[in-house]
Structures are given as structure tokens and as C-alpha cells.
Structure 1
Amino acid sequence: MAIYHTKMNPKLPVVALVLEVVMLILFGIFVRYDHDADAKDHHNNTKAQKNEFYFRYASFQDVHVMIFIGFGFLMTFLKRYSFSSVGFNFLIAAFGLQWAVLLQGWLHHFDSSTMKIHIGMEGMINADFCTAAVLISFGAVLGKTSPLQLLVMTVLEEVFFALNEHIAIGILQVNDAGGSMVIHLFGAYFGLAVSRVMFRDGLHGETHEKEGSVYHSDVFAMIGTIFLWMFWPSFNSAIAGHGDDQMRAAMNTYFSLAASLVATFAISSLTSREGKLDMVHIQNASLAGGVAVGTCADMMINPYGAIMIGFCSGIVSTLGFKYLAPLLESKLKVHDTCGVHNLHGMPGILGGLSGAIAAAFASEEVYGLSLYLTFPTLVPEDKNTPLFKRLHEWSDEIEPGKGRSPMVQGGFQALQVLISLVMAIGGGMITGFFLKHTWWGQASDVDCFEDSMYWEVPEAEGFTEVKTDGEHPLDTQDEL
């Protein structure tokens, strides 16, 4: 008989305080300002044309809004879980961005001469990106996990995320400006793997009365949707190169999102007997264009290419919510509370493959010599080759690359889709087995999707206070 240790005091305070003290110590040892923020750096320049702050801060703020408001409110659709949706999102994002700075810094920004990580605006954006993957995974296990489990999941997932990102960016050197592969695909399938390992028959299907929405909870969720929809061009362009790459990323995302929204409305109505719209589709599938265009956002796919990607992703995502999600739950025992497979998983695969095709067919005819700035791996390794000399005369930004052809680069892009899937599913299963023990404070089946398990909830119609004074067995829940 399962015993659910749902009382959070002292487990949550102890774990949270210990983790934050560890962050304090590690930041004290390793993390320092980069040259744009360090007052002692004699090369420091606060002029707009030199300091990274002026290039990146607006994008950083937009991404930050998406993380804390967009993702948080998108998950408030559950009728009795709004405190937890916004509050736990707040908690794991705040902790996650600190842990991400360290992990990504050790792998990508570590100065071996000083043994320090130098953090600037781009590092902060990347930390938010890492946190976004965890929040996507959070959507798959929403309502079924305790805050303690979520903190532990954040610690473990960000390790796997950083390793996968290092393979993509540091080893394979693929392009993934908006993170279709390393953020969305990874976060979705990691969360699905955790959910599969922690699957409980008592939460199967539509049997749980609390796993649903009411009118006002869906309206609140639409706030998250609209914030995400509006700011997604900043998300996909935040770390793209300055100038045309960044502008192209914003424009491609703009058109892809518009197309996915129209496609979502059309397919949602088409798949209903009476032609009525499903708010679940509108809240989620309308955003699929932002996910799917992420990998190739800064590539020369032209506006019509962005519209095609967005249109296809809207269709795929809506059909996934309508037909595939019930099959995954009934046949594979994957209970996906927020439908992250439909919004992030399948569009992430579509985005990764679209990026592979766009890279494989890139050419000087389309890009000019900027081809070698968008795809640095196409630059020859040998500085003495005629092509390298021509490129260096054109721009002093050119550095030796890998000498790949566009087709080879496209192959590496496609390979990263597979690697991200393997890393996500493998890491998620390991994490799920670790979190499965009831000591971590997860609620019993009957008390899932219920704020009052972990929050002091003001008295309101439809809410009853659930006591969590200690351990209680599953078969006595009705008495509590």
C-alpha cells in the first residue's frame, strides 16, 4: 500500500535552502562579470555601439517575460491548480537560471586562465533558455508532482540539457537559434519520459474530476498564450548574430506564428462535429509556429518558407491534441497534462528537420558571402585556401571552420534531432525513476491537480482544505 509523504515541512525548506547556499558558494568561487560589466576592465565601453547590453537587453527582457509570465499563466488552465501552476513555475525558473549559469558556464564560458565563468547578457539569455526546457517538462507532469520533486527534476534535467547543448553547439556545431532541437524537443520528450516512468493508473484517461478547466481558468491561460505569441520573435532572435541574422530570425518567427494561429483555428473547427473551437487548441497549437521555425529562424528561408513551416506546425499540433494525445495515454501510458508533445515535441522535430533541409540547400547564390557567417562550419580549416583568403579579405570576422559542405552541415543538423531525442528520453527516464519514491511528497491520486495540497488557499466555492499533517495511505484519502 502506497504511503504519500505530502507534508513539505521540513523537507522543502531544507532542500531549497541547501540548494541556494550551494549556489551562493559556487557563484562566489566561479562566477564574475564579463568585460562589458566589469568596472575594472580598461577595455570597458558603455557606448551603444560597443557594449553588449544595448544589443541584447531588450531581447533578454522579452525572453524573461516569456519564462515567468508566458509559461506560468499558460499552465493555469486547471480549475484548482492555478497557485501551483504560476507559483511552482516561479520557483523552478528562479532556481533553474542560477544552476544553468554554472552548468553552461563550465562547458562554454570557462576561462581556464582565471578559473572563472564570465557572465554577460548572452549568458543570462542562455540560462533562461535552459530554464525554458525545464518549464516545458514541467507541463508534462503538471498537477502530479510536488515542489520538492520539481526542484530535484530541475537539478537533474539541466545537467542533461547542458550536455546535449554541448554536443549540439560545441561538438557537432549545428545551428539552432531558436532552440527547436535543444530546448523544445529536448524539454518535451524529457518531460514525457518522466511522466511515463511515474505513470499511475489512477490518473488514467478523463477519470480525474480535477483535471479540467473552467471558464475563468481558460481565460487566464490565454494570457500566457498571448504573451508567448507576442514575444516569441525575441526568443528566436535573442542570440542570433547582430544585424541581418537577428532581423531575419524575428521576421521568420513573426510570419510562422501568424500562419500557425490561422491553421489552428481552421483545424480546430474542422475536427469538431459542430464546427466549434476548442480552447485547448487555441491556447497551445497557435504557438507551434514559434517552436517549429526556431532552428532555421536566422536562415534564408524567405517569408513564404516561414509561413509554410508555421502552417504545417499548426495543423500537426492541433491534430496531435485531437487524436494523438489520447492514444499516447491509453496505449503507451504517457500522461501529458499540458500536451507538451503536441506544442513542443512534434513541432520541435519538424523544426529540426526544417533546419536540416534549409542548411543542406544553403548556397552563396542565396546568402552571398554571408553564408559563411551564418554557417561558420562551412569556412575552410586551412587559411591558405583561395576561399579562405577571399573570405578574409571580405570580412575580418572570418575564422577557420570545419570545411563542411552545405549537405554535410544538413546531415549534422538532422543527427542532432536524433541525439536530442535520445538524451531527452534517457535523461527523463533516469530522472523519473529517481523521483518515483513517494518520500518526495507527491500527492495521492485523489489529491492530484489540487492547490490545497501545498498552498494555503483562501476559502472559495469548490475548494476544500486538504490536511497534510503527515503520512497517509492511499486508501484513506477520502477521510482527509
Structure 2
Amino acid sequence: MPPWNGWGPSPMPVETHICLPQIRAVGSRRRLSLALLITSSRFFTLQFGGVILSPWHLLWRGLLCRSSSHAAMPARYAPSIRGRLPWLLLVAQAAMVLFFLFFVSFDPPADSSLVMYTAFQDINVMIFLGCGFLFAFLRRYGFSSIAFNLLIAAVGVQWAVIVNGLLLNFQDGFVQINLMSVVTATMSIVSVLISAGVLLGKVNPVQLIFMTIVEVTAMATNRWIVTEFLRIDSHVAMMNVHIFGAYFGLTIAWLHTQPILATEIKRSKERSEPVSDLFSMIGALFLWMFFPSFNSMLVQNIAEKKNAVYNTYFALAVSAVTAFSMSAMTSKNGKLNMNHIRNAALAGGVIISFSAYMIQFPWIAMTLGLLAGIVSVHGLNYIQTCLNSVFEMHDTCGVHATFGLPGILGGAAHAILLLTSPWEDFTTLGYHALVHVGALCFTLFLSIGVGLITGIILKFKWWRAPQDWKYFDDQAYWEFPHLARKL
């Protein structure tokens, strides 16, 4: 066959590159003309550098481009936070510095003021390392998970010192600061970090800062009401952070969950990889190791403090063993699930938090740990799926199964243990149990109510929240120079 000179009918049919979805997207009259165009594409063709062009083919391609909704789609960029985040942080930090300047003073040092410094460092490890790495399981959201955890904790500690001081430690016109007040402030922000785990990847740092300010204030108010009016011990009232943080975050998630989270995003970005799962497991180990310090930190009585340490450790050990058992039992292939292990292993420390100081027999703590492991794994398998799909309450980190349900079960177990305590007056026992149930219900209702108001405010367009196509993606907030060099 002689070579073709580029003019006239081509000896070979021309590739039209027309796909089936594009044919279906156009009207019936245009589909009818497709056969004619394909037939006539052999004539009046032109060849430039080995590329064969037909005027009929070019006309048809232009026809499809005008009919397709994706032909001229603009690039999708995340909303910039430059105009909001820097100024919000600077204004908030300047306001707190001025408050510390005029209204904060240190308590006179005591001989035993630094005895608890070691335990204080345990709490810091839990907050900054444990929670930071625990939520770093998303394969494309590792930078934000760890760094935003640091930002929330740094802002939250300062604000918690102020709010707790105004409500509990305000004397002679000054907020008195000592190591105990700093420890209390650090423990208070656990609720914010738990709520951030629910909303991980779906809100920007500006929204997180506002949520931190509101939730720390609400949690401090809850603790003040429970201790001052219901006469609950301070260390017991602090253990409400798990329940408050879980249901505060779930309420906001209910207002912010979009249907796309159950389809496209969940299959593409909301995934983990071996490296991210490994980092998340390291964070869970930090929390697991130092949970006894958290549960015993505010207990004053030496004997009760020892009980809290021992019981928390046994409950954590049993919940970890149960997590392995339940994960293999509920898996389709009989294999272990890293998500089950890292979450359910921590549930034992949550369920024992209310009653760790008062349990005299380790088998009770171990039973609670067993219950926590079972509930947590089944909550991750079934309840979380129900929340995401039926109620459209998307929980990114499985906080409800790790902190919410075990926290409620722990509060109920505390009330039951109060009824079985060796008191002489059963009326007094019943009164104490009823008060603790009332405090638990009040914490639950306050977290949902404040979370509902906060969620409505966070839906305003002023916050420039990330669009659904930028969920669970670090590129919405961070620079990646190594990627830019490859382009």
C-alpha cells in the first residue's frame, strides 16, 4: 500500500476517541448523527506529525465538550484561611497575655509543690503525644492530625487556666496559679481533643479554635456546678471529660455530616495505610501506659490513689486482651483489625475512671475492663456504622465507641458500686448514688445542648469551612514543596 500524502481519503479508519458515557450524555439527534460522522471521517482528513485530524471528528469533539458538564470544570481549591487564622490566633493570644498580666499571680511555693511534677509530665505525654499520634491514622491527614492537636492543646491550656481560675481559684482579685491548677487545666482539654477526633478532617483550624474556647468554658462550668452544688468530689467530676467531649463532638458532627461522606470520600481519602496505622498505635500505647496517672492524678487520699492506679492498670490489661479476642471473632476472615485494637484497648481506662479510687477488689476492675473491650469493639463494628449511615452523624475516629459508651457505662457502674458500699445508712447510699446519676445526666445534656449551639454557629459561611472534596486532605492547609518540584 503506497504511503498516504496527508490529503484525500485516508487508507485507514481514523480513531475518534468517543466513549460510551459521552454518547449517552448527548441528545438523541446528536447520537443519530454519530454514524454519519464516523462513516465520513475517512474523507477530507489531514495529517500533522503523525496525528490524523478530520473536520468531522473535530466538530463532533466540540459537540461533546459543550454537552458535558465536566468539560470546563474549574480547579477545586480549598478556601484560604490566611485572612482568619493568623488574626484570630494573635488576638486571642494577646487577650490572654493581657489577662495574665493584670489578673494572674503565682501561689507561694510549698515544700511539696513539685512532688506531683512527674505525674504532670505523664499527663503532658498523654495530651501531646498520645492524642496527637492516636488520631494520625488517616493516610492523607497526618500533618494536620498531629499539628492541630498541638495547637488546640496550647490554646486550650491557657484558656482553661483562666476559666478554672475565675470559677474556682479567684481570690483578692487575682487568679491563683499553682502546679495543681495547671494540671487541672491540662486534664480539662482532654474533652476538646476527644471532640476534635470526631470532627477530624472535616473542619478547619479556625473552627477548631472557636470550638476549643467554647468547650473549655462549658466543661469548666459543668465541673463547677457539679462540685459546688451537687457536692461531687473534684476528681470524680473531672472524669466527665470523656462523656462531655464525645457527645459534644457527636452533636456538632450531626450538623456537619454530608451524605458524600458515606460514598466517595470514605472510599478515597478516609483510609489508613500501614505507616499511619503504626503511628496511631504508638499514640494508643502512650495513652495506655499513662492512663493510671490520669485516673489517679487528682485523688488526694493515699490509699485511694493506690487503688486508682492498680484498678486502672488491671482494667486496661483486660480490655486489651478482650480487644484482640473480639476483633478476631467479629472479623469476616478471622483476622485482627488495628482499628479495634487501638480503640478498644483504651476503653478499659475510660470505664474505670469514675470508680477506680473506691474499688477494693481487682476482679471488679477486671470485669469492667472486659465489658469495656466487648462494648468498644461491637460499637466500632455496628453502632458507628449506624451513626454514619442512618443518623448521618459521621464519627471519624470512633470516639463514641472508645470514650462515649464506656464513659456512660463507667458512670452507671459507679452508681451501682456506691449502692453496694459498706455504709450504715442505706438512705445516704441511695442519695449519693442518685446525685451521681444526676451529675452524669446533667453532663450529658449540657454537652449536647452546648454542642448543638456551637454546631449551628460553625455552619456560618464566615468560617470558610473546607468543602467536601477537601475533607481528610493535608493539602488544604499545608505546603508540600517536594510535590511542587515534581510538577
2:207 pairs, out of 133, 144, 149, with 149
In 2, distance between residues paired with 1:6 and 1:138?
20
How far is the alpha carbon of 1:273 from its aligned partner?
2.4
8 Å Cα contact 1:356-1:411 kept in structure 2: yes
Equivalent position SS for 1:459: helix
- 1:170–1:458: structure 2 CA closer, same or farther, 3 Å change rule? farther
Q: Which runs of 5+ in 1 are unaligned?
A: 37-44, 366-377, 379-402, 466-480
2:144 pairs, out of 84, 87, 91, with 84
* 1:398 equivalent in structure 2: none
Report % sequence identity: 41
In 2, distance between residues paired with 1:346 and 1:296?
16
Amino acid at match of 1:274: N
How far is the alpha carbon of 1:8 from its aligned partner?
1.4
Matches within 5 A, 1:42-61: 45-46=110-111, 51-54=112-115, 56-61=116-121
1:424 aligns with 2:485: no
What is the TM-score of this pair, normalised by structure 1?
Answer: 0.82
8 Å Cα contact 1:130-1:158 kept in structure 2: yes
8 Å Cα contact 2:78-2:470 kept in structure 1: no
How far is the alpha carbon of 1:354 from its aligned partner?
1.2
1:194 aligns with 2:252: yes
How far is the alpha carbon of 1:449 from its aligned partner?
0.4
Amino acid at match of 1:333: E
1:24 aligns with 2:84: no
Equivalent position SS for 2:334: coil
1:225 aligns with 2:284: yes
- 1:4–1:134: structure 2 CA closer, same or farther, 3 Å change rule? farther
After superposing the two structures, state which structure 1 stretch, 5-14 or 319-328, moved more. 5-14
* 1:263 equivalent in structure 2: 322
In 2, distance between residues paired with 1:184 and 1:74?
15
After superposing the two structures, state which structure 1 stretch, 232-241 or 21-30, moved more. 21-30
What is the TM-score of this pair, normalised by structure 2?
Answer: 0.81
1:67 pairs, out of 107, 121, 127, with 127
How far is the alpha carbon of 1:404 from its aligned partner?
7.6
How far is the alpha carbon of 1:301 from its aligned partner?
4.1
Equivalent position SS for 2:235: coil
Equivalent position SS for 1:290: helix
8 Å Cα contact 1:81-1:451 kept in structure 2: yes
After superposing the two structures, state which structure 1 stretch, 73-82 or 164-173, moved more. 164-173
Matches within 5 A, 1:287-302: 287-302=346-361
How far is the alpha carbon of 1:169 from its aligned partner?
1.7
- 1:333–1:95: structure 2 CA closer, same or farther, 3 Å change rule? same
8 Å Cα contact 2:139-2:271 kept in structure 1: yes
Equivalent position SS for 2:232: coil
* 2:85 equivalent in structure 1: 12
How far is the alpha carbon of 1:180 from its aligned partner?
7.5
- 1:237–1:144: structure 2 CA closer, same or farther, 3 Å change rule? same
Equivalent position SS for 2:151: helix
Q: Which runs of 5+ in 2 are unaligned?
A: 1-75
In 2, distance between residues paired with 1:116 and 1:282?
46
How far is the alpha carbon of 1:247 from its aligned partner?
1.1
Q: CA RMSD in A?
A: 2.2
- 1:176–1:294: structure 2 CA closer, same or farther, 3 Å change rule? farther
1:123 aligns with 2:181: yes
After superposing the two structures, state which structure 1 stretch, 436-445 or 228-237, moved more. 436-445
8 Å Cα contact 2:350-2:406 kept in structure 1: yes
Matches within 5 A, 1:386-465: 405-459=428-482
In 1, distance between residues paired with 2:262 and 2:179?
44
In 1, distance between residues paired with 2:376 and 2:178?
36
Aligned length in residues: 411
Q: How far does the alpha carbon of each residue in 1:32-70 deviate from its partner, in whole angstroms, 9 at most, with x for none?
A: 11232xxxxxxxx43xxxx2321x211111011100000
In 2, distance between residues paired with 1:172 and 1:314?
31
Amino acid at match of 1:248: N
Q: How far does the alpha carbon of each residue in 1:284-341 deviate from its partner, in whole angstroms, 9 at most, with x for none?
A: 1110000010011111342111101111011001100011101011111100000110
